[in-house]
Homo-oligomer: A and B are copies of this chain.
Amino acid sequence: MKQRNVVFCLFLIFFINVLSAQKSVLKRPNIIVFLVDDMGWQDCAVPFWVKKTSQNNRFHTPAMEQLAADGMKFTNAYANPVCTPSRVSMLTGVSAAVHHVVNWTSPFKNNNTDNLDDQMVSANWNMNGLSNVPNIPFTYQATTFPSILKAAGYFTVHVGKAHWGSSGTPGSNPYNLGFVVNISGQAAGHPQSYLGEENYGNIPMKPTIQAVTDLQEYYGSTTFLTDALTKEALKSLDAPIEQGQPFFLHLSHYAVHTPIQADIRFRNRYLDMGLDTIEANYASLIEGMDKSLGDVMHYLKKKQVDENTIIIFLSDNGGLSLGGKGARGNNSHVQNLPLKAGKGSVYEGGIRIPFIVKWPGVCKKASATDAPIIVDDLFPTILAMAGIKKYSTLQTLNGKNIIPLIQQPSIFKERTLIWHYPIKWIDKDGPGINFHSAIRKGDWKMVYNMRNGKTALYHLKEDIGELNDLSAGYPQRLKELKTSMSDSLRKWKSPMPVFKATNKLVPMPDEL
């Protein structure tokens, strides 16, 4: 009888192990990346600077405040100056200087979106974006983290703006990039219209390349795009939650990209404040986005999965700071103060983004860190959150797992980050805009203007507005950053522009 007991015990242990393995699978956290388009660092009530600004006081974003109160703020978080580079970096864990998708991709294949220039030929870049398969011209082939999550059993959902690649290439299709469900994700970089009344741009005989797909249910209604995408996103989560399958949701809002149309649910507050129409519209886009975040949080609570769901909130580049028709106000480059410039620039206004992580039981409530992080970090971080330790990728990651920061916010302080934007984004140069690169190490940052061959050195902690060039006083520090940037760009074969007059490549900063 004794022997039999041992056999029973062994069986029992075996079965308990099998079951608990299955149970632990069920316990893997759900992960939501809540990505906002073109949202500036100051465009919310949550202060990411050392003090509240007038911008923080302008915006009504209670859900973001709740998220910050529940989680951790990253006050030195970065993206790239424009969207596609950031989106590709996020999905691949690789710097734009490495993947060479340095500008936004056109909805059309082989269509270079760079502006022409009298003086320079733009760098040769991967103008068709990201690809999951080889031999697609002008694309960067890589393994995406959603494909790893999917293979590990996650229900992976993309909703909203994709903009990873041009039509006619695999990267335009989120189903090729690791998503089980795709709603409204395509090659376009902005919506034709935010309005249900305008069918989100799907009007026969009107231009439709930017028309938003998959939302016919809301045509002719007053449902604002931000709300329609939120509704569809939450609908898609019902099945995995019921199945006990962990999910990854990439809720990627078209808001707050141009066209700056009013989300009339929220605009009156801002008109009453005395804002002009365009700024009131912009603020209403922000608040509509915040309402979406609140709806997501409410849904998670209602479904009783909020305690097992991580939310990562971020923007894909700095806030638009161009004034004039179709843009914001009469003045340019002031919308992100105290940061310099905005979208398209390698100055802080173009690359510094709001970033919050809520991870119940792990992130301390209302905590913050000023350690520098970047969108490339999401790849290893999210896989670590999902408990996936072993995986292989075609590419070598630049991103780092930021989870250790949660326990020890001081690490990463001396980390080096590089931005590389060697093309002409807009017709008229602006501060840090068109043919620029930048490097940050610790609190020091160097900006390189390729057109005039000038570099400038700033100390971000002392001078967040990048107003005082300290090159003269810190020649050694400057040299170190020049060398570091040059070494990296050479190693990564980062594309450089060519001077038309000489037909020579722009020199690396250490060759100046």
> Contacts A5-B1, A15-B16, A175-B235; is A208 near B216 (CB within 8 Å)?
no
Determine how close the nearest CB of chain B comes to the CB of A493; give it in whole angstroms.
Answer: 28
A467 in the interface, Cβ–Cβ < 8 Å?
Answer: no
Encode A229-269 as 1/0 by CB contact (under 8 A) with B. Answer: 00010011001001101000000000000000000000000
Question: Within the assembled complex, what's the spacing in Å between the Cα atoms of A158 and B233?
Answer: 17
Determine how close the nearest CB of chain B comes to the CB of A276; give it in whole angstroms.
Answer: 32
A350 in the interface, Cβ–Cβ < 8 Å?
Answer: no
State which residues 195-228 of A face B: CB under 8 Å.
199, 202, 204-209, 211, 213-221
Counting every copy of the chain, the complex holds: 2
**B contact residues around A18 at 8 Å (CB):** 19
Q: In the complex, which of the residues B16, B168, B216 contacts A217, with contact meaning CB atoms closer than 8 Å?
A: B168
Nearest B-chain residue to A209, judged by Cβ: B204
Which among A45-53, A180-188, A334-342, A373-381 touches the partner chain? A180-188
**B contact residues around A345 at 8 Å (CB):** none
**B contact residues around A109 at 8 Å (CB):** 219-220
**B contact residues around A151 at 8 Å (CB):** 242
> Contacts A217-B167, A217-B176; is A243 near B153 (CB within 8 Å)?
yes
Nearest B-chain residue to A12, judged by Cβ: B11
A4 in the interface, Cβ–Cβ < 8 Å?
Answer: yes
| The 10 nearest A-B residue pairs measured at CB | A15-B15, A167-B216, A173-B217, A8-B8, A167-B219, A172-B216, A168-B220, A204-B207, A168-B219, A213-B213
Determine how close the nearest CB of chain B comes to the CB of A205; give it in whole angstroms.
Answer: 6
Q: In the complex, which of the residues B15, B153, B183 contacts A19, with contact meaning CB atoms closer than 8 Å?
A: B15
Determine how close the nearest CB of chain B comes to the CB of A72; give it in whole angstroms.
Answer: 32
CB of B204 within 8 A of CB of A208, answer yes
A497 in the interface, Cβ–Cβ < 8 Å?
Answer: no
A71 in the interface, Cβ–Cβ < 8 Å?
Answer: no
Question: Within the assembled complex, what's the spacing in Å between the Cα atoms of A217 and B167?
Answer: 5
Q: In the complex, which of the residues B175, B187, B204 contacts A236, with contact meaning CB atoms closer than 8 Å?
A: B175
A169 in the interface, Cβ–Cβ < 8 Å?
Answer: yes
Nearest B-chain residue to A14, judged by Cβ: B15
Nearest B-chain residue to A244, judged by Cβ: B153
CB of A220 within 8 A of CB of B167, answer yes
State which residues 15-41 of A face B: CB under 8 Å.
15-16, 18-19, 22
A191 in the interface, Cβ–Cβ < 8 Å?
Answer: no
A365 in the interface, Cβ–Cβ < 8 Å?
Answer: no
A451 in the interface, Cβ–Cβ < 8 Å?
Answer: no
Can you report 18 residue pairs joining A to B where beta carbons are below 8 Å apart?
A: A1-B5, A4-B5, A12-B12, A19-B19, A168-B216, A169-B217, A175-B232, A175-B236, A180-B180, A180-B239, A186-B214, A186-B216, A204-B207, A205-B207, A208-B211, A213-B214, A214-B214, A243-B245
